[in-house]
Amino acid sequence: MAEKESPWGARPAEPAPPPPPSDEATEAEAGEATGAAEHRFPCESCGAVLTYAPGSTVIKCEHCGHENAIPEDDTPIVEIDFRSTLASLETDAPHSDNRVVRCDSCGAEFSLPPDAHAGACPYCGSTVVTDTGKERQLKPAALVPFQLDQNAASDRLAKWLKGLWFAPSGVGKFSRNDGRFLGVYAPHWTFDAETASNYVGERGVYVQVPRMTTTMVNGKPQTRTVMQTETRWTRVRGFVRRTFDDVLVLASKNLPRHLAGKLFSWKLEQLVPYRDEYLSGFRSEAYQVGLEEGFQQAKVVMENQIRSDVMRDIGGNVQRVHRIDTKWGRISFKHVLLPIWVANYSFQGKTYNFVINGQTGELRGERPWSWIKIAIAVAIVAAIGIGAWLLTKK
């Protein structure tokens, strides 16, 4: 198990606060006075805003092409103890949800939603990234950088649409101008746990049993022996262990959960320590699914796996599970950000939503159906079946 550390991490750098009323003013009070810090990355060449270039380790100017390398960070990504962190959250004073940020490009002041800490100025479009540690009790420890840019995500969606079976004609003509893409670093929890489970159940084994049956043959009863399959049950008790690693839970309620929650191809070994540079040019959400709620969701996944382990341990042909008593130990977590392209596509007056894994290109989406094409296909299959039946009658 990885070493534990405080969930709060190091205090982010903040501008000097106004002079405190007394020398006894605490560091926490000074932090409250300063508010959230903004992080922007001006181009050294032309002064425009640098944004992260997916698939690289640089932030790049879209105007002049100048690049700044993102500094290497060898900070270890460690697991954090779940129970002690949960106890700390229960006693910690709540933070304010309202934040007003000032755009350095045009001077406008505007609010970011409480669940976002990166976005664009609504007046001039400049990227603003606010500090993540002030408004949220738990900072993201790591993230997976975007590997696919918007063009690659658009191509992936277009290819998927063109390959749909029974889709209406024209749906495959998707172009980059037809849809709206949003690059989002989506909050996730990962949970580790060690479990030990005692169970009570039954093992069912199929056996062949002779049975006497009477049938009528040429109008006369005949008795004969047939073999029938029956299940013999044996009551069993047992014990199974399971170590869980990085059970993933989507912590956003803004993204379409029925789609984003089914992106499974993440390569979490490519996590890097959190740095603001990776967020520049993208939206980043704060978690709306809290730590305890997130663990309860992960627990359902773990319990399903434990039940499968129990049934495998019982053995036999079929199993009955009456009771499972599980002890949970060494529960730990990480708060991470994972890249997702969110898109929608309008077709024949209806909007269809899509999400694309910004690391691997895995796509989950809603799709239109052509009921005319389906009806034609059913009719063709029925005609083939009827034709084959007629041939057998000749």
- Token pair listed for 40: 């922007």
At residue 350 the predicted structure's pLDDT band, cuts being 50, 70 and 90, is confident
Highest average pLDDT, of 12-26, 117-131, 305-319, comes from: 305-319
- For residue 88, name the pLDDT band (cuts at 50, 70, 90): confident
| Statement: residue 236 has pLDDT above 90 | yes
Give the up-direction half-sphere exposure of residue 297: CA atoms within 13 A in the CB hemisphere. Answer: 17
pLDDT in tens, 129-162: 666 544 446 889 999 999 999 999 988 888 887 7
pLDDT above 70 (res 120)? no
Which range of 71-85, 212-226, 303-317, 356-370 scores highest in mean pLDDT? It is 303-317
In this predicted structure, the answer to whether residue 366 has a pLDDT above a threshold of 50 is: yes
> Would you say residue 11 has pLDDT above 70?
no
Higher pLDDT, 73 or 15: 73
pLDDT at 13: 37
Say whether pLDDT at 29 is over 50: no
pLDDT for 217 equals 79
Write down the pLDDT at residue 255: 87
Q: pLDDT tens digits, residue range 159-189?
A: 887 776 655 565 555 544 455 788 999 999 9
Query: Residue 71's closest CA among 261, 276, 228?
Result: 276
Can you tell me the mean pLDDT for 263-278? 94
Average pLDDT over residues 261-278: 94
Model confidence band, residue 84 (pLDDT cutoffs 50, 70, 90): very high
Q: Sorting pLDDT into bands at 50, 70 and 90, what band is 266? A: very high
* Amino acid 107: pLDDT: 58
Please give the Cα distance from 15 to 17 (Å, whole number): 6
The residue ranking higher by pLDDT, 66 or 200, is 200
The closest of 353, 365, 364, 368 to 182, measured between CA atoms, is: 353
> Taking 60 as the threshold, does the pLDDT of residue 33 lie above it?
no
Q: Is the pLDDT of residue 111 over 60?
A: no
Separation CA 313–CA 331 (nearest Å): 24
Percent of the chain with pLDDT strictly greater than 70: 69
- Is the confidence at residue 326, as pLDDT, over 50? yes
Q: What is the pLDDT of residue 211?
A: 87
Tell me the average pLDDT across 42-56. 89
User: Who wins on pLDDT, 168 or 266?
Assistant: 266
Q: Per-residue pLDDT for 5 more than 50?
A: no
73-to-38, 144, 299, 327 alpha-carbon distances in Å: 21, 14, 32, 37
Q: How far apart are CA 174 and CA 157, in angstroms?
A: 8
Domain range list for the chain: 32-197+239-373
